[in-house]
Chains A and B, each alone.
Chain A
Amino acid sequence: MSSSFELLQQCLKRLPGLGYRSAERLALHLLVEQPGACEELMAVLAQARDSVHACPDCGNLCEGDVCEVCADGSRNRAILCVVETVTDLRAMERAGPYRGLYHVLQGKLSPIHGVGPEQLNLAGLSGRLDQLPVEEVILAVSNDIEGEATCHYIQEEILAGRGLRVSRIGFGLPSGGGIPFADATTLRSALEGRRNCD
C-alpha cells in the first residue's frame, strides 16, 4: 500500500467523528471507487475555504461582509441570543420562532480543556452591546457546570450594570415525551423551571 494513501487515511481520521475504518472507507471511495467525487470535493473545499468565514459581528458562518442573520433588516435588534456554537445557532434557526440576533461564543468556559475567557468571543459581545439597541439577552448555553459558569461569567463581567433583561433558556421535558420517559435530572429541572398557568 502506498504511503500517500496511508497519509490521506490518517488525515481523514483526524476529522471529528471518524475512526480508522470510516477513514479507510472514505479514502478508498475518493481515490478508487469515485475519483470524480474527489475532484468535486477538492474544488468545493477550496471554494468554501476561500469564501466562508466567521461573521465579524456575531460569529455565525458568513460569505459576505456580515452573515444572513445580521444582514436581515427584519430581525429584532433589541434581543440578542448567546449560543455556544454555530451548530447551536443553526438548530435555533431551524426551530424558527426566534427573530432576534445571535452571538456565538465559539465554546464555553472549560478550564480543564484550557478554554478561558480569552478563547471565547466575549470582547465582541461587549462591543456589540455598546452599539446595538439591545434590551434583552437570552443565554442559550448548555445545562452543565461549565455552561452555568459561562452564564455566570457573562452576567458578572459583561452584562452587569447595563440594565438589560437577562434570561436563560428553560430546561425540561422534550416535546412529545411523556413524564415516564424523562430521566430524573431532567424531571427535577422541569419541576424547578415550572411556570404559573395564566
Chain B
Amino acid sequence: MRFNRLRAANFRNFTLLESAFPEGAQFICGRNGQGKTNLLEALSLVTSLRSFRTSEIPALIRWESQPRECTLVYEIEHEQLGETVLEVRLRPGSKQVSMDGNPVRKLGDILGIFPTITFSSQDIQILRGSPGLRRRMMDLMFVVMDPRYYTVLTRYHQALKARNALLKQRGSAAQRRPFEDLLVREGWTLMEMRRRLLEVFNPHFQSAYSGISGVEEEPVLQYQPSVNADAAGAYEDVFVSQLRRDQESGTTNRGPHRDDLEFRLQEHGAREFASEGQQRGLVLALRMGMVGWYRQRGGTPPVILADDIVGELDAGRRQGFWRMLGGESQIIATGTVFPREDDFHNWIHWTMEEGRVSRDREESS
C-alpha cells in the first residue's frame, strides 16, 4: 500500500496538517521539535489504531482543541481495496473509524489491513525497558501476523479484569469459576499463539540481524512465559496454585499478562551483555524482520516509516540499511540531514517547520 495524502486536525502539535506524498521515497527534514515524529505517528496509527509512542489517546489530541477530539483522514492506495479513504476520529476514551464513509463497527476487523512498519529511535526501550513494552510490541506484531490473535487477546483481558474485580470484592469460588475457566482457556491459547508466532518470526529476525550487522551472532527472541507449562492441564495447575496469593493481593499474579521476551545474542541476555551497537542492531532487526515477514507473506507490502533512525549508524551501515528496505515499499523517513549516502532510492525532500511540511525546490538526486 502507499499513502497518497494525509490530513490531520488537532493531532499532537498540528492544528491542521495536510501532506501529499508523490511517487518516490519521502524524506522529511527539520530541526528537533518541529513535528516530524508526530507526522509519522499519525501515519502509523492506521495499522493497529495504536500509537508507537503512547497508549494514551488524550496525549494524541492537541492540547488547546475544543472539543477534545482529533481527526485523521488518510487517502491510501491499496493493492486489494484500491483507492481508500480512511477516517479515524479520536476522543478521550473512544476511537471511531470509517472506511470510504462507512463506519467500521469492529476495530479488530481493520487491524493489519493497512500495514506500516515504524523504525523509531525509541525502539531501543523495547530491549532495555520494562516487560510491558515488550508485551506491547509482541501484541502489536502478532495481531498483524494472525487475525485470531486480537480476539483471543481481548477476551483474555476481559476475563482478567472480571476476575480481578471478583478477587477485590472477595467473591465466592462459585462466582469466580466461570471467569476463571475462561481465563485459563484463553490464557493457554494466548500462550500457545505467542510461542508459535515467535517461532515463525525468529528466522526473519535472525536474517535481518545478520543483514544489518554483517556478522553471524545467532540472535534469538526468546519467549519467557509467566507460566511455565507445556500442556493446558499444567497451565491450569499453575494458575490454581496461585489462588491464595491472588486472593491476598487482590489481583491475578501469573498469566500471559505478565509474560516477557528476551533478546539473546550468542546465548547471553542482550540487555546485560550486548554492546550499544549490538543492541541498536537488535531492535533494528526486530523491525526489519517484520519487513521480511511481510515480504514472505506476499500481498500488500507495508509502508515503512523511519523516524530519525540512521543518525546512529555509520555511513556504510546507513547505506546498507536503506538498501535492505528495498524498493517495493513506500518509504517515509525523517531526520535532521538528507540521506545523501543512499543511492538506491529516489528521494523527495521535504522540510518541516512548526508543524508545516513544504517541498524543497532544489533537490539533489
Contact = CB atoms under 8 A, between A and B. Distances in A.
A151, A157, A184 — most chain B CB neighbours (10 Å): A184
A130 interface: no
A10 B140 CA distance: 43
Interface of B, helix, strand, loop or mixed by DSSP: helix
Contacts of A50: none
Contacts of A146: 158, 162
Interface string A117-152: 100000000000000000000000000111011111
B165 to A, nearest CB: 4
A116 interface: yes
Nearest to B174: A157
Interface in B128-164: 147-148, 151, 155, 158-159, 161-163
Given A145-B155, A145-B159, A111 B178 contact: no
A91 interface: no
B147 A149 contact: no
A184 B173 CA distance: 34
Given A117-B175, A183-B106, A185-B106, A111 B181 contact: no
Contact of A111 (B147, B151, B169): B169
A149 B108 contact: no
B109 A184 contact: yes
Contacts of B147: 184
B106 A156 contact: no
* Size band of the interface chain B makes with A: 20 to 34
A5 interface: no
Contact of B166 (A111, A145, A183): A111
A150 B179 CA distance: 9
A111 B174 contact: no
A26 B171 CA distance: 42
Contact of B165 (A111, A117, A153): A111
B177 interface: yes
Interface of A: 109-112, 114, 116-117, 144-146, 148-153, 156-157, 183-185, 188
Interface of B: 105-106, 108-109, 147-148, 151, 155, 158-159, 161-163, 165-166, 169, 171, 174-175, 177-179, 181-182
